[in-house]
Amino acid sequence: MREKIVAANWKMNKDLTEGLQLVSDLVESLKGKKIACEVIIAPPFIHLSGAAERLKETDIVLAAQNIAKEENGAFTGEVSAQMIASTGAKCVIIGHSERRAYYGENGAVLHEKLLRAISEGLRPIFCVGEQLNEREAGKHFDVVSNQLTEAFNAIGADKIAQMIIAYEPVWAIGTGKTASPEIAEEMHAHIRSFLKERYGESVAKKMPILYGGSCNGSNAVSLFSQPNIDGGLIGGASLAVEKFMPIIEAWDQVHK
Ligand code: PEP
């Protein structure tokens, strides 16, 4: 049985008070509930230590949304993997399409970030996904294979096995245009066979592959029911507990 995961990517939303309130609301909503998946939240950096405090004695896992590729030193404005780990965060999102598009993060940069995260014991949630024009040109499988190839580079199977992958078609992020379960499943199966070919069957079988892109309480059950979809990376719908909880609870209705 692979891990089932619902992960929240708050992006650049919520001031400190609002963010910590959202963490507390989530903790309260999950209290005493038996849920069928792991829950990860990735707030902005400023919330990490306060969130870690509120998440003590819960099973909710804390993640950062980004890390510096450098270890430490004169890199004004950057936050290192070691700093993130020191807050109590256990995971980090790497390769989100917004980082690729707006901050020029290419395969080589993402490779360094993956190595840095792994060396500090942070579990990467590595994002891949094609643009609309790439899908329309029929290049989506190649685009995603190339993203994986470039960023994973020479990282060994033992380290790849510690990661989480998120497939997030860029055309579905924040647009309300969710990929159909069939389209998402087709890409998840492609990613799993890529992993099998490069890193062997056990890495491929074990890897949680999350779907991201306008996932919400209405479409989560049909997406999560697909054989190769192991959960979701959720942006907009993770910013309010009443929208996020139905996605977590979707797993109660999935039988596979
Ligand atoms: C994301 O950016 O990771 C994401 C999936 O966003 P949304 O759910 O808002 O499409």
- Reported residue count of the chain is 256
- Decide: 226 in ligand 1 pocket, CB within 6 A: no
CB 200 within 8 A of CB 156: no
Antiparallel, parallel or unpaired: β 123-128 and 91-94: parallel
- Decide: 232 in ligand 1 pocket, CB within 6 A: no
At 104-144, the pLDDT tens digits run 999 999 999 999 999 999 999 999 999 999 999 999 999 99
11 is in an annotated binding site: yes
138 is in an annotated binding site: no
CB 106 within 8 A of CB 150: yes
Write out 167-199 in H/E/C secondary structure: ECCHHHCCCCCCCCHHHHHHHHHHHHHHHHHHH
Find the 234 Cα to ligand 1 centroid distance in Å: 5
pTM: 0.98
- pLDDT of amino acid 233: 98
Find the 85 Cα to ligand 1 centroid distance in Å: 24
Ligand 1, atom 3: nearest CA belongs to which residue? 235
Find the 236 Cα to ligand 1 centroid distance in Å: 6
pLDDT band at 256 (very low <50, low <70, confident <90, very high): confident
Q: Which atom of ligand 1 is nearest to the CA of 175?
A: 10
Q: Dihedral of CA 121/248/44/209: which sign?
A: positive
Q: Is the pLDDT of residue 26 over 90?
A: yes
Q: Give the distance between the most distant pair of CA atoms in the chain.
A: 51
- pLDDT of amino acid 1: 85
Ligand 1, atom 1: nearest CA belongs to which residue? 235
